[in-house]
Amino acid sequence: MTREEALVLMKSKLRNKNLQKHTIATEACMRFLARHFGEDEELWGLAGLLHDLDYEETAKDASKHGLVGAQMLEEIGIDERIIHAVKAHAEHVEAQSNMDKAIFAVDPLTGLIVAATLMHPTKKLANVDTQFVMKRFKEKSFAAGANRNNIRTCENLGLPLEEFITICLKAMKSVADDLGL
């Protein structure tokens, strides 16, 4: 599956623009992390773009989130490693590969970075730096939905939190126009 095909599929399943942006942010972070680790950038990018395909469909039954999406991807015969990552990001299976671990930690971080940007005086990603995000990370009540423990699992990849945030921030800046930030 090409990136363009994945984008069309994602947009056909997710109507909410913020959700679309979330998957684009996740894709960008996954690509930058793959590059950092010398892994398959296309594969990791696709996993990011497709990880929440069922989000709207499972809105009324969150326990199925990740499973329905994995099923959709199985039906189109996508790479097994992506299917595993989709299940792992919603904790249906254990995160095993680096790609599984990366998407699990990235998922909540994208939300924290968006929320931090919106409270920055300029509201522009370009002006947000790692220290600004680190400060917001430490404020427990800020964007409380962005699970700090899950973000911290970047350490399972051997990435200290600050470095993880730096890579993902750079990634999200590269798609700032798409994110409207």
| Alpha helices per DSSP H over 38-79 | 41-50, 67-75
| Residue 107 binding Fe ion, by CB under 5 A | yes
Part of the chain binding Fe ion (CB under 5 A), chosen from 8-16, 31-39, 52-60, 139-147: 52-60
| Residue 52 binding Fe ion, by CB under 5 A | yes
Q: Whole-angstrom distance between the N-terminal and C-terminal Cα of the chain?
A: 28
Q: How many CB atoms lie within 10 A of CB 42?
A: 14
Cα–Cα distance, 146 to 171 (Å, whole number): 18
Nearest to 116 by CA among 141, 138, 142: 142
Asked if residues 20 and 48 have their Cβ atoms less than 8 Å apart, the reply is no
| Distance in Å, CB of 121 to Fe ion, minimum | 28
| Distance in Å, CB of 42 to Fe ion, minimum | 19
Nearer to Fe ion, 29 or 128 (CB): 29
Nearer to Fe ion, 86 or 159 (CB): 86
Cα–Cα distance, 50 to 32 (Å, whole number): 16
E strands of 31-171, at which residues? none
Part of the chain binding Fe ion (CB under 5 A), chosen from 2-10, 46-54, 65-73, 158-166: 46-54
Nearer to Fe ion, 122 or 147 (CB): 147
# of chain residues touching Fe ion (CB under 5 A): 2
Nearer to Fe ion, 51 or 173 (CB): 51
> Which residues of this protein are in contact with Fe ion, per CB under 5 A?
52, 107
